[in-house]
Amino acid sequence: MADYVNRLALTTGSSAVPVHKRLLGYRHEPDKFATARLTRGRSAKVVPHPVQECPVQLEAEVAHIRPFAVGDARMAIPSVAVELRIVAVHVDDSLLMDANEHRIDPDRWRPMFMSFRYLYGRGPRQQPLARGPEEAYAPWKQGVARRLGSKVLSAWSQYKYGQEPQPEDSKDQV
């Protein structure tokens, strides 16, 4: 996958390449699939095409766009945090657990990630983070009582701790 990513590293879909990107060597590329030599898949719920070569694909919709570091003089380029709502998940069957077809086997999936401009893969398994039933982290998949309890707990948490206020100018962008 690193070769695909590197073919796209200095490209942008924007026909007007921003100055800061031009200075970094970026160029306009209208067809990133062709440039990276990737295959367009078919989305179930969103307009953008997924990448067929990726064994895990998440379809998402934008929930919120929030600017950050607006008053920080060190941030020469406006930046935003984009909160997404996952609306569909596609996983290659070869990555699923034998005992549970609704779970990814972490020993089979080797995701790639970037850290400080370097691409990495996952190493061997370490000890688990914590013990306990994984189902407890997905109450919406449980019975009515657990779903209701989850909603009550969520409402109480929002009341007690509040929600982070959304900047005025980002409300119009959602």
- For each of the chain's 174 residues, which pLDDT tens digit applies? 889 999 999 999 989 998 888 888 899 999 999 999 999 999 999 999 999 999 999 999 999 999 998 888 887 777 899 999 999 999 999 999 999 989 999 889 989 888 888 888 887 776 666 566 666 666 666 777 777 777 787 777 777 776 554 444 444 443
Residue 131 confidence (pLDDT): 61
Q: For strands 11-12 and 27-28, give the pairing.
A: parallel
Q: 32-66 b/e with 16+ CB inside 10 Å = b? A: ebeebebeeeeeeeeeeebbeebbebebbeeebbb
Phi, psi of 42 (to 5 degrees): -115, 130
In angstroms and rounded to an integer, the radius of gyration of the C-alpha atoms of the chain is 20
Report residue 164 as tokens: 């982070």
Show me where the domains of the chain are located: 132-162
Residue 129 confidence (pLDDT): 62
